[in-house]
Structures are given as C-alpha cells and as structure tokens.
Copies of this chain bind each other. A is one copy, B any other.
Amino acid sequence: MRLDPLDEKIIQALTRDGRRSFAAVGAEVGLSAPAVKRRVDRLVAAGTITGFTAVVDAAALGWTTEAYVELYCSGQPRPALLAQDLERLPEVVSACTVTGNADALLRIRTAGVRHFERVLQRLTELDYVTHTKTTLVLSPLFERARSEANPAG
C-alpha cells in the first residue's frame, strides 16, 4: 500500500499515543477529525496498522527474567509447526526462524531463573529439539517502534 506524508504523520502520532483522539491528531497533521478517521480505517483495513495496544512494563507484572534462546533442531521442522508448538508456551514472547546454525530464535520472559529452567525443559521435550543455547538479558537498554516509512517503500 502506498503511504503519503499525511498517513506517515498520522502513524507517528498514533505510535506516540495510541489513544489520541482523531481531532487531536488532525490538529497536528492539518486535517479534520473525520478525515483522520477515514485514513486510520483505511490503514487498519490494509494491515499497515495491525492494531492498538497498551504497553505494559513486564517487570511490573513480575516477569523479571528475560532471555533469548537459540533452538537447535533435528530435521527441519516446518515454520508452521514451530509456531504452533511454541505458541503453546506463554513464556515464549516472540519467535522466528533464522540463518546460522540455530533453527529458531526465541525471546522468553519468566518470573525468575527457576521458572526459566522449567521452560527450557519443556522446550527440550519437543521431539525435534536437540539442544538450546541461552543468552540472558542483563540490562534492557531501550526498545522502540520504527513508525517512519522507508522512502523507497
């Protein structure tokens, strides 16, 4: 889908504050509230905007341990199977298949190292998993969205 500069500004405004009113966004970008709403509806329908969400501090909810786990598998489990199996584990926050020796890279959040150990065990119980390699997060430095459009996009 093609984005004009107004769409981009709207996306940036709603990325900064997903609950801003259409009127407030319109005042910022130079449109009326209905015009902003029409564009947002279009962006959501096109899948450019996937949704709106509250951003929650994981540590405040008790998820104090964060880790990246490389998954090494025998055979090549299909991505769809991996997704299905890994999504059953609520501690797996994101997962992707990757280049390199590992087959998948997982991001995991748990309530402590004890809890993390149990998750590792459940991962190795998957029949195609041969071993794992854990990288524990020490200090999260920052995290942000890329809401600017690529000029060549």
Contacts and interface: CB of A to CB of B under 8 A. Distances in A.
A149 B90 CA distance: 12
A49 B58 CA distance: 9
Contact of A145 (B46, B47, B53, B142): B53
B49 A52 contact: no
Nearest to A108: B146
A139 to B, nearest CB: 5
A123 interface: no
A30 interface: no
Interface residues of A, number: 67
A143 interface: yes
A27 interface: no
Interface in A58-105: 58, 60-63, 66, 68, 79, 82-83, 86-87, 90-91, 93-100, 102, 104-105
A141 interface: yes
Contacts of A141: 79, 82-83, 86-87, 94-97, 104
Number of copies: 2
Q: Which of A14, A50, A150 has the most CB of B within 10 A?
A: A150
A129 to B, nearest CB: 15
A148 B63 CA distance: 10
A59 B76 CA distance: 25
B46 A111 contact: no
Contacts of A57: 47-50
A94 to B, nearest CB: 4
